[in-house]
């Protein structure tokens, strides 16, 4: 028995020795002794490798045997080292700056770069579609540092916040450090699937990394790079079909790499403020493919959030035909309001499979993150990470690991709540009172005074205090249970109103809404004018645009995703509805008389409808032609569709049920799409709806088809909003067709005007249309600009060719 045990012990020991990995590590420097950050280290004739860190230090695990290691960095001559690995060893490497030989090439006196670029552009589509499918393992590391910050910002104590997130006494330090590994799969033309294998986030034991291979993917064989959030306009590739219109090129010479001649080309934007890159691209002779690039883009191109972004990309041959990305790095710096930020994301690709077997249906899921991927220990990461940590990063992980444990404790979370749950004058007026219990994930909210105090001619001055209680039930899918109570009292009509509501999550996909009470409601159920705007117009100009009625009601609604891109909702409501008259004529200014509360008899008054009861059921379904979703440990999150969304509504007013007086059937169909991409010419959004009352035996004004009109200077921007249409006049109980189109040129024009281009203004045009039996061919044309969330437009309305009205409109959203 002892012999048998010893035999197996020896067998296991010898097997472990055979499979043991040894470490080859060292430092990569240039010929002046300075470290070369993020240089690539690859085993020759494979895509297996590693990368140096920001200080030039590298480490690669190898089994026992003979290897040829290749060391590569853009701008340096490639180095190769042969070694026999049988133990851990140190191998330092010195790079020499790549010397590109200039040769006399006669191309009619023109820079030879243009002849090379013509060939490269001609081959663009070939290389874009060269690989129809592949899978690859991707390691991603992201790091951002706060380089500078003010002591206080908008009343917040940045020193105090800095201590909580691990900054030093000067408010500097790492604010985001994360590593992840994913298996990334691609299937032509644009299907991707990413499964996260491991995730590590400094300072959090529960969070998943924000690193996504799909977010960091770039392909300069595409004509444009879409970097939403960074640039309003698509960025133009140096090898785009129309690149000669945007770029100048300069040939800087050629060198030989792995027996292939490589040309170094400088790319220079023709116009300083076009959405173009600057820097260098490396193109292989004969094949005319990209083998490397070192590009950057700055604020001159009107990018947002950051001052400069640099892109470093290297390619390796995976087989005799295809070159694929081996490393991809983004470096960035930027600042705003006294804050300065810098950092990088780097991706290392290995283990390409260019002949995978895929099921197209598997790509409905674009991302999968399962339980346990953020639970890998330090031993795992020490073996798997291809980029060594710097001393600063090791310290950050270690220090914030203790902070993470502390942050999850009840005493710490309670101490944070004691600081932030204080009532402050600004919050009381604008933001309300917010009381959190972070440990229990509970949240109380009391409405601000700016919401609580209002004025209208039906109630006079009225107060509307509201409170709500929210508890997070699912942090991954952002699911909440919520209950609320809204009170209202008018000092002119002396009515007390109260509405109770609740939102109850049902499973992962559905939400049950319950609501009931008594309230003063807008006759237009789309609420096209805000209560604040109506208050201001009434008190300062005696323009009481909004019209009201009394509603005592109870309703229940179940809504959610049925399957894939199919959503649905069902709502049942019973209401007692009473007509209201004006109760006051008070205002701060203005000599004109207020109009009556009847929108169809503004100057004569009278009841718009008799008191009535209504029981109605509304069904809605919509489909967005996309089944794309992301899977997290607690469920699916469906993605916005790039296709139009179609919807169908049916409302039935049921006479006799609970004494209901209404009897009608209304159907409608709509189609809408946002951000339809037109490349450098901007994006288009549209909405079209057609509807009809197929039965209108008994229907009252609140049941009419309403439209999102506008008569005030300040309006609510909405995909289906008009600029100049009356709020109520053209509501109908018959048939209708409305259409809205907005095109945002994303700075295509303004960016060409000196002085204005720095403001990053976006040009907008509007076209709106409506026809009903009582309003034939009403249309609006509008044009203006958008700056951040502020819109200023000039609109003009026409009815059957006759000019009806023109005015300025302003929208500010938060």
Give the pLDDT band (50/70/90) at residue 551: very high
Whole-number pLDDT of residue 185: 96
Could you list the beta-strand ranges (E) of 124-259: 133-148, 152-153, 156-157, 173-187, 191-201, 224-225, 235-236, 247-257
Give yes or no for residue 4 having a pLDDT over 70.
Answer: no
How does strand 442-446 pair with strand 433-437? antiparallel
The encoded tokens of residue 354 equal 């260019």
Element (H, E) at 538: helix 531-541
pLDDT value at position 16? 38
pTM beyond 0.75 = yes
Sheet holding 40-43, edge to edge: 49-51, 40-43, 65-72, 79-85
Mean pLDDT of the chain: 88
Six-digit token pair at 490? 């008018």
* pLDDT score at 103: 63
pLDDT at 7: 31
Rounded percentage of the chain residues whose pLDDT exceeds 90: 52
What are the backbone angles phi and psi of residue 800, rounded to the nearest 5°?
55, 40
Peptide bond into 609 cis (omega under 30): no
The residues, any chain, with a CB within 8 Å of residue 54's CB and separated by 6 or more, are 37, 38, 344, 390
User: What is the end-to-end Cα distance of the chain in Å, rounded?
Assistant: 77
pLDDT at 368 over 50: yes
pLDDT tier for residue 61 given thresholds of 50, 70 and 90: confident
Q: Which two tokens stand for residue 473?
A: 């039930």
Contact 185, 192 (CB under 8 A): yes
Say what angle helices 391-407 and 410-420 make with each other, to 10 degrees.
Answer: 80
Residues in the chain: 814
Nearest to 198 by CA among 33, 49, 376, 42: 376
Tell me the pLDDT band of 6, cut-offs 50, 70 and 90.
very low
Higher per-residue confidence, 427 vs 387: 387
117 φ, ψ to 5°?
Answer: -65, -35
Average confidence (pLDDT) over 636-660: 92
- pLDDT-derived band of residue 803, with 50, 70 and 90 as boundaries? low
For the segment 420-440, the average pLDDT, to the nearest whole number, is 81
DSSP assignment, residue 33?
Answer: S
pLDDT of residue 104: 52
- Write the Ramachandran bin of 440: left for phi over 0, alpha for psi from -120 to 50, otherwise beta: alpha
> What's the rounded mean pLDDT across residues 585-590?
89
Backbone angles phi, psi at 374, to 5 degrees: -100, 20
Q: Is the pLDDT of residue 98 over 70?
A: yes
pLDDT digits (tens, 9 = 90+) for 675-718: 888 888 899 999 999 999 999 999 999 999 999 999 998 888 88
Beta-bridge partners for 329: 312, 346
In the predicted structure, residue 235 carries a pLDDT above the cut 70: yes
Interatomic CA distance for residues 239 and 242, integer angstroms = 8
Mean pLDDT, residues 671-678 taken together: 91
Rounded Cα distance, 229 and 461, in Å = 42
Q: Which of the four pLDDT bands, split at 50, 70 and 90, describes residue 17?
A: very low
- Strand 191-201 with 365-368, pairing: parallel
Indicate the range of 54-68, 183-197, 403-417, 677-691 predicted with least confidence.
Answer: 403-417
Please give, one letter per residue, the 3-state secondary structure of 146-169. EEECCCEECCEEHHHHHHHHCCCC
Instruction: Check whether 184 has a pLDDT greater than 90.
Output: yes
Residue 278 predicted with pLDDT over 90: yes
- Taken in order of first residue, the domains within the chain and their CATH numbers are 17-95 (2.60.40.1120), 130-225+346-406 (no CATH), 666-814 (no CATH)
| Structure confidence by residue, pLDDT tens digits, 110-167 | 899 999 999 999 999 999 999 999 999 999 999 998 888 887 776 667 777 777 677 7
Q: How confident is the model at residue 8 (pLDDT cuts 50, 70, 90)?
A: very low
As a whole number of angstroms, the distance between CA 12 and CA 9 comes to 5
pLDDT in tens, 322-348: 899 999 999 999 877 778 889 999 999
Tell me the pLDDT tens digit for each residue of 206-225. Answer: 667 778 888 888 999 999 99
- The pLDDT of residue 164 is 67
Which residues are paired to 22 by β-bridges? Answer: 62
Q: Which helix (H) or strand (E) holds 329?
A: strand 323-336
Given this model, what pLDDT does residue 688 score? Answer: 97
């Amino acid at each position: 028995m002892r012999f048998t045990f010893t035999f197996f012990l020896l067998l296991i020991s010898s097997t472990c020795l055979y499979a043991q990995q040894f470490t080859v590590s060292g430092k990569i420097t240039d010929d002046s002794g300075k470290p070369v950050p993020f240089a690539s280290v690859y085993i020759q004739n494979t895509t297996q490798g590693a990368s140096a860190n920001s200080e030039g230090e590298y480490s690669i695990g190898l089994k026992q045997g003979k290897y040829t290691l290749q060391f590569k960095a853009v701008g340096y001559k490639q180095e190769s080292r042969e070694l026999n690995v049988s133990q851990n060893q140190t191998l330092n490497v010195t790079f020499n700056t790549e010397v590109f030989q200039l040769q006399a090439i006669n191309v009619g006196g023109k820079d030879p770069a243009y002849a090379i670029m013509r060939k490269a552009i001609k081959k663009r589509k070939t290389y874009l579609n060269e690989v129809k499918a592949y899978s690859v393992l991707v390691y991603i590391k992201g790091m951002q540092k706060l380089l500078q910050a003010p002591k206080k910002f908008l009343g917040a104590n940045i020193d105090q916040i800095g201590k909580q997130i691990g900054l030093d006494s000067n408010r500097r330090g790492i604010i985001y450090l994360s590593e992840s590994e994913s298996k990334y799969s691609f299937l032509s033309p644009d299907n991707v699937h990413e499964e996260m294998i491991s995730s590590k986030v400094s300072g959090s034991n529960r969070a998943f990394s924000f690193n996504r291979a799909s977010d960091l993917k770039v392909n300069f064989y595409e004509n444009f790079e879409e970097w939403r959030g960074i640039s309003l306009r698509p960025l133009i590739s140096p090898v785009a079909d129309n690149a000669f219109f945007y770029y100048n090129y300069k040939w800087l010479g050629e060198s030989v790499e792995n027996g292939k001649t490589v040309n170094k080309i400088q790319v220079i934007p023709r116009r300083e403020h076009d959405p173009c890159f600057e820097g260098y691209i490396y193109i292989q002779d004969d094949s005319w493919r990209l083998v490397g690039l070192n590009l950057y883009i700055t604020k001159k191109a009107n990018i947002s959030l950051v001052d400069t972004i640099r892109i470093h990309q290297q390619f390796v041959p995976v087989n005799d035909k295809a070159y694929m990305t081996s490393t991809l790095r983004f470096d960035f710096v930027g600042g705003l309001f006294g804050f300065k930020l810098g950092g990088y994301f780097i991706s290392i690709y290995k283990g390409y499979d260019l002949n995978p077997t895929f099921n197209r249906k598997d790509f409905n899921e674009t991302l999968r993150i399962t339980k346990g991927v953020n639970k890998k220990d330090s031993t795992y990461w020490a073996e798997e990470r291809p980029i060594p940590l710097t001393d600063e990063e090791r310290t950050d992980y270690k220090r914030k690991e203790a902070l993470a444990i502390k942050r999850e404790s009840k005493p710490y979370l309670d101490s944070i709540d004691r600081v932030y749950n204080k009532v402050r004058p600004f919050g009381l007026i604008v933001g309300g009172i917010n009381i959190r219990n972070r440990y229990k994930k509970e949240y109380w909210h009391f409405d601000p005074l700016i919401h609580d105090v209002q004025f209208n001619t039906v109630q006079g001055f009225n107060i509307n205090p509201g409170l709500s209680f929210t508890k997070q039930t699912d942090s991954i899918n952002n699911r909440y249970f919520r209950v609320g109570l809204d009170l209202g009292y008018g000092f002119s009509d002396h009515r007390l109103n109260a509405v109770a509501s609740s939102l109850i999550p049902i499973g992962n996909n559905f939400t049950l809404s319950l609501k009931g009470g008594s309230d003063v409601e807008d006759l237009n159920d789309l609420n096209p004018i805000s209560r604040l705007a109506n208050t201001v117009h009434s008190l300062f100009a005696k323009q009481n645009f909004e019209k009201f009625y009394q509603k005592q009601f109870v309703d229940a609604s179940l809504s959610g995703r049925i399957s894939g891109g199919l959503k649905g909702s069902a709502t049942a409501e019973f209401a007692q509805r009473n007509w209201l008259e004006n109760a006051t004529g008070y205002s701060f200014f203005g000599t004109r008389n207020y109009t009556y509360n009847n929108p169809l008899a503004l100057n004569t008054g009278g009841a718009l409808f008799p008191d009535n009861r209504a029981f109605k059921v509304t069904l809605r379904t919509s489909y967005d032609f996309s089944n794309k979703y992301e899977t997290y440990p607690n469920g699916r999150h469906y993605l916005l569709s790039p296709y139009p969304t179609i919807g169908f509504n049916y409302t039935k007013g049921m006479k006799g049920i609970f004494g209901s007086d209404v009897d009608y059937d209304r159907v409608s169909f709509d189609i809408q799409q946002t951000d339809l991409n037109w490349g450098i010419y901007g994006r288009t959004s549209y909405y079209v709806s057609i509807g009809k009352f197929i039965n209108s035996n008994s229907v009252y004004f609140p049941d009419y088809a309403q439209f999102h009109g506008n008569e005030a200077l300040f309006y609510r921007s909405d995909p289906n909003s008009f600029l100049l249409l009356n709020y109520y006049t053209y509501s109908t109980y018959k048939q209708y067709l409305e259409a809205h189109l907005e095109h945002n040129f994303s700075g295509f024009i303004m960016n060409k005007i000196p002085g204005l281009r720095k403001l990053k203004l976006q040009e907008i045009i509007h076209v709106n249309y409506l026809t009903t039996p009582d309003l034939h061919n009403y249309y609006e044309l509008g044009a203006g600009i958008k700056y951040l969330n502020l819109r200023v437009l000039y609109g003009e309305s026409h009815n059957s060719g006759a000019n009806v009205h023109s005015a300025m409109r302003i929208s500010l959203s938060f």
